[in-house]
Amino acid sequence: MTRQTAIRLPEKTYERLQTLAARTGRTATYYIREAIEQHLEDLEDIYLAEQALEKLRRGEMGTKTLEEVSRELGLDD
């Protein structure tokens, strides 16, 4: 299922989007969707990293050296 939404773009961004769509034969909607999906993934990764960093700072989480991880996974043989 898909949902529809509306966004406002600066004129220059809108023109760039239309030019790209015309040059590539894809729709502007395709590029809007692609940009949102990619940016959402990046934002989600940043959010998770910030959460982990906060846990680390509060002492709720620790770190391991590469040697420790290799040993635990049996990769140091």
Q: How many domains are contained in the chain?
A: 1
1 is a domain residue: no
How does residue 46 score in pLDDT terms, banded at 50, 70 and 90?
A: very high
Determine the Cα–Cα distance for residues 36 and 5; give it in Å rounded to an integer: 12
Under 8 Å between Cβ of 7 and 32: yes
Model confidence over 26-42: pLDDT tens digits?
999 999 999 999 999 99
What's the pLDDT at 76? 78
Angstrom distance (rounded) from CA 48 to CA 67: 25
Question: What proportion of the chain, given as a percentage, has pLDDT over 90?
Answer: 96
User: Which structural domain, as residue segments, surrounds residue 58?
Assistant: 11-72
Closest C-alpha among 47, 28, 50 to residue 39: 47
pTM exceeding 0.85: no
